A = this chain, B = another copy of it.
Amino acid sequence: MSRSVLVSGGCGFLGSHLIDRLLRRNDLERLVVVDNLWTGTRDNIAHVTDPRFSLQIADADSFSSGERFDEIIHLASPASPIWYMREPIRTIKANIGGALNLLMLLKPGGRFCFASTSEIYGDPQVSPQPESYRGSVDCTGPRAAYDESKRCTEALLFEQQRVSGLDVRVVRIFNTYGPRTRMDDGRAISNFVIQALTTGVLTVYGDGSQSRSWGYVDDIVEGLERFFWRDSISHRGPLNIGNNHEVSVLHIAEFVSSLVPGSSIEHQPPVPQDPTNRCPDLTLARHLLPGWEAKTGYQEGIARTFEWFRQRIAATRM
């Protein structure tokens, strides 16, 4: 049975990796990417030559089409704080407006997959965070437009599942890094790598003791692929996907710095409401996706990311 799939945000960091995996599917008849290139880039999909693929430059909340899709994967949203804090309205529209609009493009009985986030846990009071944890988000705070629009989109989808039987799949993705991150993304690992390769001074906000579980993109996208379409899973989520090996921001900075002799670390004041910790409870993921784990250690993942950025920066200097 051939399938038509729409991916919103398919030119983004995660999205473009997911596109590569979708195009390996034999049952894929047609893949439409809807992206407004706000944080995504054409570069991320420049290598795609598959005739089943097409790109529509449009906002997820207003894209219209006469076509209906068997599967919709809704990724459209900025994911980096400096991006979503700058444009809260646009962030809310991308997530909630995007979901409301794209639901109308789903065939009856079709599947709607959504990339939620560990940010829905806010600054968590329990660690690791199981999916049942209700979170600690300040809904009036400086990160709230992103956190709450992800929470509300989850609510929308699970309510539609209850009210109309919608086939939903919701993942909560923890910190992810790797090739195809924007140069100006602003999150820790890509920042450190670029700073090490350019100015030689790595900026740590606060004392760097805040910890994160750093997931290498290949591992994360493997989890998404298995949950969204490859494995036969009836559970709808939410499902935590991430690396549960917590490493402090300072330790990551020190490791990146060690790759460039002569580079150094400077500290800046902490970012408001930066979570002190974030670590997935992966009990459910291990149960639903036997054998899956975020196996790439930070040393290996960062080395690959470093090499990708090194080549990019070298290319722009030529």
Contacts and interface: CB of A to CB of B under 8 A. Distances in A.
Interface string A112-149: 00000000101000000000001111111110110111
A155 B89 CA distance: 10
With most chain B CB atoms within 10 A of its CB, the pick from A93, A160, A162 is A162
Task: Give the oligomeric copy count.
Answer: 2
Interface residues of A, number: 38
A90 B163 CA distance: 12
Interface in A138-188: 138-142, 144-145, 147-149, 151-152, 154-156, 158-160, 162-163, 170
A92 interface: yes
Which applies to chain A's interface (DSSP): helix, strand, loop or mixed? helix
A253 interface: no
A301 interface: no
A37 interface: no
A88 interface: yes
Interface string A93-111: 1001100100000000000
A170 B144 CA distance: 15
Given A92-B96, A96-B96, A139-B155, 15 more contacts: A85-B159, A86-B163, A88-B160, A88-B163, A97-B100, A120-B139, A134-B138, A135-B137, A140-B154, A141-B155, A144-B155, A144-B159, A145-B155, A145-B156, A148-B154
Interface of A: 85-89, 92-93, 96-97, 100, 120, 122, 134-142, 144-145, 147-149, 151-152, 154-156, 158-160, 162-163, 170, 238
Q: Give 5 nearest A-B pairs by CB, closest first.
A: A88-B159, A144-B155, A148-B155, A148-B152, A139-B151
